[in-house]
């Protein structure tokens, strides 16, 4: 019971730290950290989305860069060609990404692991190819497009610090939504499908419907992250939306651990920390990154957070056992 | 022009087929997925270059050395990474991620060892090109076609008619039951990863004289090979080659007659169509259920 | 209870991660740039100046920190590596000569992986953490496009090392180029075609920014010159087989093929064109690299391009004394000659930057940028550079080179030789 009392303190402390982080970074002369956090936020949203699809519903996707691209390009193009205010374009583009996700998910939902991953790779390649060779060059093709920063109620989020708070708020909202979803009837249906689609079907769950739903929701998350990316960097080009990016999402998700709220956060933050830490190795950076990745996978094949959770679970069980025997 | 396109599409398809064979073999023998094939191809090209050009070994010997080195590499990869993960009975996706990590390592290690320079693989045959039905084809391309068919037939025979091949298939279907029957499942998956790597390296050493040797040689071919394997019927050796050739032909025909800009897009769209409409591929290979 | 525990654990984890992040990045700066960064951020601190003066040979008066983001891994690792080597070489040479304006030159290099996202992060990092005062790089257009605004807004003189026209069209006053702008060289190519009486040209291009820009410029110029484009083919990055495209190009019966590609694709397309029976004249958008020449061998004959310089397989082949000196120093330092001309581009950028800083008498970004527009007659590997036109571009003159008998030569020398006759005949230009 004592822990329950302590808990809000930890929560409040975490909130305080997150809110004060930009100031802390500035105080120690490391403003750059603010930008890294901005990127980390959008990756957390994207990877959380992917986790809904894979971690909860068991559908792999190696082509989520496509939805990232639809969110980013959708928002930029709507703003550029129809002059819709940016925050609305982000929402429309995100919905668009979800819609495309649903369309793709419908035929893809019957595919299993290897086949689904190849199908999503193919989808990603098709979208990438379209970005590079769009009809009439509406996407700017190889050159890409420039865009503006988000304007929220007359307040421009052009500085990294202001974007940080926007990103923080968005991340909180998206994570909260994820938490609500996975703890609802829908979430339980997803988990049932992940564990055994046939049994789930037998229990009266409409497997296709829920699979499509999971895919669309995950496309929604990734699409929004893409829109955030576009207005953070204020330039988008096809180079960002390759297979590499999809692999990055999957890596972050698996690095942290799947099927949880915190796993993707841990994964994204860790991968970001590693890449920042390895910058000094220049051309060997990716070599070391690969080696590190391999070591972590072999040592912790459930993701960092996943393994921690298992460990904590074991410890807790022991503790509980102790309590019981004492009682 | 049509004949020319058909011939070169066929050559390209055989290369995809060689890579596809590796994917199919690993799938058939262990039900696993491996993303590292394309980079082993690159490794094979560099190894072949080292043995043949730098060390001056005869061609047949450098070919054998390359394939053997890659075979050992594949074996080690299975033994020290895949096997370890399998023992911990992790989600299959973590094995995929492990192969992706190996891919990073391989790509960057090749760069660190052999530098970023594009290397010239000297010609193997005294005759640079052969005339086939009035079309000039590089001799190495012919060799490539021959080798991919030899590999296909050899593997099919190996899997179907040898004790070891039967054991491998049994191991893939039900590892526990196979083990109970006295089959060494660890060895059989190890060998299949080794053979897959060996074949990718073979493709690499064959492609060296045609395309030159550079660090990104295998990146796209690897992915296309996977697509070929699925189109032909995942797990079927004939299917791997036929799927590869189909993809090669489609690509070159699209580039020649439709649009080179949308070549890759059309190839991937065709793949999606296959996956959605006929995931068992041309050879109607029943997929192992997960 | 269990959930509480989880949350508590997670909270501590997140904190630990945040700490790790700071520590990692802090550690990085501490290890790589230890004294430099400290000294730079406290340039006015005399005690620090004393420290750096001790370790440097001649230079006094602080440091001039130059950031060098280049793609060091992946598809474009080769140009990135060559560029970085050249910048490091220049750093060494400048410091031996007493630095720039008496300041020790310090180069900080990073791998941008050819990704716009990395470029943006690196730009912010180099400006905010490393306090870089000038930037050399990247050779990837999309990286300059995504990060250029950051450099420009911070008034940091930046030298892109790519040849695409696009990133110089953004109106950035602090972004310069000391290498070829393809748009400046291609008119020379089309003029040559007019001179030869070429009527039909086919184009073949990659799908990256520089390649597409090259083909678009050629299409525009051909339209003006009344030259017909018989077909425009393209390929996606990573592809190695172009037989479909080549067959289509040949069946459209062009006299000249314009090839707009980069790096390892050059010899592949050359070989496939020749193998399928096109032995006529080809133009590449920029340098046909020396490693491509070695890989494609005889298939390279008849490949021409307008460019300021060449790459070599041995120093003896080079007859320009200035380039020779550079190559000798480069070989002494790295044991090999640069394969990619990105080495030349980056080295020239360093030379121009030095000249600008000396003309300005300061290493302040604004002063350098102002001095840049008055610079002329600067001796570089590419010849004399002149920035007085105010467009940020230093190079306006190029030569047409051609490959004959598996060797580089100039067009003028080639004109009229046996090899010339053969290629012209194959092109139907007699």
* Nearest-CA distance B14 → chain C (Å): 12
pLDDT attached to residue A4: 52
Distance CA A157, CA A149 (A): 6
B132: in domain? no
Query: Is C357 in the same domain as C283?
Result: no
* A230-239, A318-327, B248-257, C316-325: range with lowest mean pLDDT: A318-327
Please count the structural domains in chain B: 1
The domain that holds C64 is classified in CATH as 3.40.50.2300
C355: in domain? yes
Nearest-by-CA chain A residue for B231 = A115
B167: in domain? yes
Q: Which chains touch B (3 or more CB pairs under 8 A)?
A: A, C
pLDDT attached to residue A307: 86
Backbone φ, ψ for residue C277 (5° rounding): 105, 10
C15: in domain? no
**From A10, A39, A309, residue closest to C11, measured CB to CB:** A10
- SS3 of C178, please? coil
pLDDT attached to residue C39: 38
Residue A320: pLDDT band with limits 50, 70, 90: low
Q: Is the pLDDT of residue A6 over 60?
A: no
Residue B251: pLDDT band with limits 50, 70, 90: very high
Region A210-230 average pLDDT: 96
Region C356-376 average pLDDT: 92
Q: Is the pLDDT of residue C316 over 60?
A: yes
- SS3 of C314, please? coil
C235: in domain? yes
* Nearest-CA distance B119 → chain C (Å): 7
Residue-by-residue DSSP string for C42-110: TTT-HHHHHHHHHHSSS--S-EEEEEEEE--SSTTHHHHHHHHHHHHHHHHHHHHTT-BTTBEEEEEEE
Residue A326: pLDDT band with limits 50, 70, 90: very low
CB C282 within 8 A of CB C273: yes
Query: Is C191 in the same domain as C158?
Result: no
Query: Is C168 in the same domain as C198?
Result: no
Query: Is C127 in the same domain as C108?
Result: yes
Residue among B136, B11, B259 at smallest CA distance from C245? B259
Q: Is the pLDDT of residue A130 over 50?
A: yes
Residue among C129, C150, C139 at smallest CA distance from C68? C139
B70: in domain? yes
CB B75 within 8 A of CB B190: yes
Query: Is C233 in the same domain as C148?
Result: no
**From B100, B261, B275, residue closest to A115, measured CB to CB:** B275
Region C392-421 average pLDDT: 92
Burial-class residue A136 by CB neighbours within 10 Å (0-12, 13-18, 19+).
exposed
- SS3 of C303, please? strand
Residue among B194, B193, B195, B244 at smallest CA distance from B223? B244
Contacting A residues, span 21-40, partner chain C, CB-CB under 8 Å: 21, 25, 28-33, 35-36, 39
Backbone φ, ψ for residue C256 (5° rounding): -135, 145
C-alpha distances (whole Å) from B110 to each of B106, B117, C69 are: 6, 11, 22
Distance CA B247, CA B102 (A): 27
B243: in domain? yes
**8 Å CB contact of B104 and A290:** yes
Residue B259: pLDDT band with limits 50, 70, 90: confident
Q: Is the pLDDT of residue C230 over 50?
A: yes
**8 Å CB contact of C208 and A142:** yes
Note the pLDDT tens digit of each residue in A178-216: 999 999 999 999 999 999 988 999 988 999 999 999 999
Give the mutation candidate from C2, C3, C5 for the A interface (greatest A CB count, under 10 A): C5
pLDDT attached to residue C40: 39
Distance CA A79, CA A230 (A): 11
The mean pLDDT of chain B is 88
Please count the structural domains in chain C: 2
C38: in domain? no
Q: Which chains touch A (3 or more CB pairs under 8 A)?
A: B, C
Query: Is C152 in the same domain as C75?
Result: yes
The mean pLDDT of chain A is 89
**CB < 8 Å to B101, chain A:** 290-291, 293-294, 297
C320 touches chain B (CB under 8 A): no
pLDDT attached to residue C390: 86
Residue among A213, A215, A229, A226 at smallest CA distance from A94? A226
C324: in domain? no
C-alpha distances (whole Å) from A162 to each of A157, A159, A167 are: 5, 5, 9
Place of tokens 């004394």: C321
Note the pLDDT tens digit of each residue in B7-22: 889 989 999 999 999 9
* A49-53, A310-314, B246-250, C411-415: range with lowest mean pLDDT: A310-314
Query: Is C198 in the same domain as C272?
Result: yes
- Annotate C238-265 with b (16+ C-beta within 10 A) or e (fewer): bbbbbbbbbbbbbbbebbbbbbbbbbbb
Q: Which helix (H) or strand (E) holds A69?
A: helix A65-82
**8 Å CB contact of B112 and A287:** yes
Q: What are C383's strand-pairing partners?
A: C380
CB A67 within 8 A of CB A219: yes
Residue among B111, B119, B140, B144 at smallest CA distance from B128? B140
B122: in domain? no
Note the pLDDT tens digit of each residue in B163-179: 888 888 787 777 788 88
pLDDT attached to residue A2: 45
pLDDT attached to residue C152: 94
Distance CA C278, CA C281 (A): 9
List helix spans (H) across chain B.
2-30, 37-49, 59-77, 83-87, 92-114, 139-161, 163-173, 175-180, 185-211, 219-232, 237-253, 263-277
Distance CA C277, CA C247 (A): 9
C42: in domain? no
pLDDT attached to residue B135: 76
Note the pLDDT tens digit of each residue in C19-73: 444 444 443 433 333 334 333 343 334 333 444 444 444 456 789 999 999 999 8
Query: Is C80 in the same domain as C91?
Result: yes
Note the pLDDT tens digit of each residue in C107-155: 999 999 999 999 999 999 999 989 999 999 889 999 999 999 999 999 9
Distance CA C427, CA A17 (A): 71
B208: in domain? yes
pLDDT attached to residue C59: 52
Query: Is C375 in the same domain as C402?
Result: no
B120: in domain? no
* Nearest-CA distance A15 → chain B (Å): 33
C13: in domain? no
ipTM of the complex: 0.90
The domain that holds B84 is classified in CATH as 1.10.3470
- The token pair at C187 is 């008119």
**8 Å CB contact of C235 and B257:** no
CB C116 within 8 A of CB A239: yes
Note the pLDDT tens digit of each residue in A70-86: 999 999 999 999 999 99
* A35-44, C2-11, C244-253, C306-315: range with lowest mean pLDDT: C2-11
Q: Print the domain residue range for C100.
A: 49-180+331-385
Angle formed by the axes of helices A185-195 and A160-182, nearest 10°: 80
Residue among C135, C128, C117, C106 at smallest CA distance from C39? C106
For chain C, percent of residues with pLDDT exceeding 90? 67
**From A54, A115, A129, residue closest to B230, measured CB to CB:** A115
B285: in domain? no
Q: Print the domain residue range for B258.
A: 2-115+137-277
C197 touches chain B (CB under 8 A): no
Query: Is C129 in the same domain as C252?
Result: no
Query: Is C338 in the same domain as C263?
Result: no
* A67-81, C11-25, C232-246, C283-297: range with lowest mean pLDDT: C11-25
């Amino acid at each position: 019971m004592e822990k329950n009392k302590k808990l809000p303190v930890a929560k409040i402390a975490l909130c305080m730290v997150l809110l004060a982080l930009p100031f802390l970074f500035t105080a120690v002369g490391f403003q750059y950290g603010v930008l890294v956090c901005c990127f980390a936020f959008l990756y957390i949203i994207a990877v959380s989305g992917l986790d809904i699809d894979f971690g909860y519903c068991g559908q792999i996707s190696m082509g989520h860069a496509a939805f990232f691209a639809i969110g980013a390009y959708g928002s930029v193009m709507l703003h550029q060609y129809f002059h819709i205010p940016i925050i609305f374009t982000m929402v429309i583009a995100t919905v668009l990404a979800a819609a495309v996700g649903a369309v793709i998910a419908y035929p893809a939902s019957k595919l299993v692991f290897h086949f689904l991953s190849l199908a999503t790779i193919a989808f990603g390649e098709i979208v990438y190819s379209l970005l590079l060779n769009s009809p009439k060059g509406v996407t700017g093709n190889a050159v890409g497009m420039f865009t503006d920063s988000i304007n929220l109620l007359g307040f421009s989020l052009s500085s990294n610090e202001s974007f940080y708070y926007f990103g923080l708020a968005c991340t909180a909202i998206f994570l909260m939504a994820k938490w609500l979803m996975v703890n609802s009837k829908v979430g339980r249906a997803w988990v049932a499908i992940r564990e055994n689609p046939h049994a789930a079907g037998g229990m009266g769950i409409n497997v296709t419907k829920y699979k499509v739903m999971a895919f669309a929701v995950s496309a929604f998350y990734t699409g929004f992250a893409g829109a955030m990316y576009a207005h953070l960097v204020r330039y988008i080009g096809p180079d960002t939306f390759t297979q590499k990016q999809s692999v990055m999402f999957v890596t972050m998700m698996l690095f942290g651990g799947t099927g949880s709220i915190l796993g993707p956060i841990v994964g994204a933050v860790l991968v970001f920390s590693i890449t920042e830490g390895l910058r000094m190795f220049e051309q060997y950076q990716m070599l070391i990154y690969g080696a590190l990745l391999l070591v972590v996978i072999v040592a912790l094949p459930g993701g960092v957070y996943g393994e921690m959770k298992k460990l904590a679970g074991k410890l807790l069980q022991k503790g509980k056992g102790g309590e019981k025997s004492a009682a | 022009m049509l004949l020319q396109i058909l011939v070169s599409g066929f050559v390209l398809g055989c290369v995809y087929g060689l890579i596809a064979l590796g994917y199919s073999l690993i799938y058939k023998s262990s039900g696993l997925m491996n993303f590292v094939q394309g980079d082993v191809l690159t490794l094979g090209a560099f190894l072949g270059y080292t043995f043949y050009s730098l060390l001056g070994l005869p061609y047949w010997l450098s070919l054998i050395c390359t394939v053997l080195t890659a075979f050992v590499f594949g074996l080690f990869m299975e033994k020290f990474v895949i096997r370890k993960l399998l023992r911990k009975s992790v989600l299959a996706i973590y094995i995929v991620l492990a192969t992706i990590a190996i891919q990073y390592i391989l790509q960057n290690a090749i760069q660190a060892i052999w530098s970023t320079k594009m290397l010239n693989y000297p010609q193997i045959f005294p005759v640079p090109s052969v005339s086939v039905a009035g079309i000039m084809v590089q001799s190495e391309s012919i060799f490539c076609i021959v080798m991919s068919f030899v590999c296909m037939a050899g593997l099919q025979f190996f899997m179907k008619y040898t004790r070891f091949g039967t054991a491998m298939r049994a191991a893939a279907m039900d590892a526990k039951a196979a083990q109970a029957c006295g089959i060494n499942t660890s060895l059989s998956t190890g060998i299949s990863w080794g053979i897959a790597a060996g074949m990718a390296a073979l493709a690499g050493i064959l492609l060296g004289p045609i395309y030159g040797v550079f660090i990104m040689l295998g990146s796209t071919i690897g992915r296309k090979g996977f697509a070929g394997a699925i189109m032909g019927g995942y797990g079927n050796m004939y299917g791997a080659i036929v799927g590869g050739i189909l993809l090669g032909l489609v690509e070159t025909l699209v580039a020649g007659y439709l649009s080179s800009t949308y070549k890759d897009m059309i190839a991937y769209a065709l793949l999606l169509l296959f996956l959605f409409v006929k995931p068992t591929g041309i050879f109607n290979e029943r997929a192992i259920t997960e | 209870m269990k959930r509480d525990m989880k949350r508590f654990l997670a909270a501590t984890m997140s904190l630990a991660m945040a700490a790790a992040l700071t520590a990692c990045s802090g550690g990085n700066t501490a290890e790589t740039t230890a004294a430099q960064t400290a000294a730079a951020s406290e340039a006015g601190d005399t005690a620090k100046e004393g420290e750096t003066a001790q370790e440097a040979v001649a230079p006094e008066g602080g440091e001039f920190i130059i950031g060098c983001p280049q793609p060091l891994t992946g598809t474009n690792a080769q140009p990135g590596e060559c560029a970085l080597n050249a910048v490091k070489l220049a750093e060494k040479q400048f410091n031996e000569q007493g630095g720039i304006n008496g300041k020790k030159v310090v180069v900080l290099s990073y791998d941008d992986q050819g990704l716009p996202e990395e470029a943006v992060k690196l730009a912010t990092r180099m400006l905010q953490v490393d306090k870089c005062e000038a930037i050399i790089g990247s050779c990837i257009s999309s990286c300059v496009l995504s990060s250029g605004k950051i450099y420009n807004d911070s008034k940091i003189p930046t030298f892109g090392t790519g040849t695409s026209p696009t990133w110089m069209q953004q109106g950035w006053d602090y972004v310069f180029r000391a290498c070829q702008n393809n748009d400046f060289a291609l008119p020379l190519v089309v003029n040559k075609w007019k001179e030869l009486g070429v009527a039909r040209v086919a184009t073949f291009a990659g799908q990256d920014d520089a390649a597409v820009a090259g083909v678009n410029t050629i299409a525009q110029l051909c339209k003006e010159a009344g030259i017909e484009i018989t077909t425009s083919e393209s390929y996606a990055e990573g592809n190695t087989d172009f037989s479909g495209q080549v067959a289509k190009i040949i069946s459209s019966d062009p006299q000249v093929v314009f090839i707009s590609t980069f790096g390892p694709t050059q010899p592949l397309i050359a070989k496939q064109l020749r193998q399928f029976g096109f032995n006529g004249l080809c133009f590449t958008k920029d340098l046909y690299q020396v490693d491509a020449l070695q890989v494609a061998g005889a298939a390279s004959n008849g490949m021409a391009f307008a460019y300021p310089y060449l790459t070599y397989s041995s120093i003896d082949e080079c007859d320009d004394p200035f380039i020779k000196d550079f190559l000798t120093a480069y070989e002494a330092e790295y044991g090999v000659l640069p394969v990619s001309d990105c080495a030349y581009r980056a080295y020239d950028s360093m030379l121009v930057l030095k000249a600008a800083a000396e003309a300005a008498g300061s290493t302040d970004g604004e002063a350098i940028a102002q001095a840049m527009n008055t610079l002329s007659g600067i001796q570089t590997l590419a010849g004399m550079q002149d920035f007085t036109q105010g467009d940020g571009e230093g190079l306006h003159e190029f030569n047409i080179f051609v490959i004959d008998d598996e060797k580089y030569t100039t067009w003028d020398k080639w004109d009229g030789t046996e090899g010339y006759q053969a290629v012209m005949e194959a092109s139907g230009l007699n």
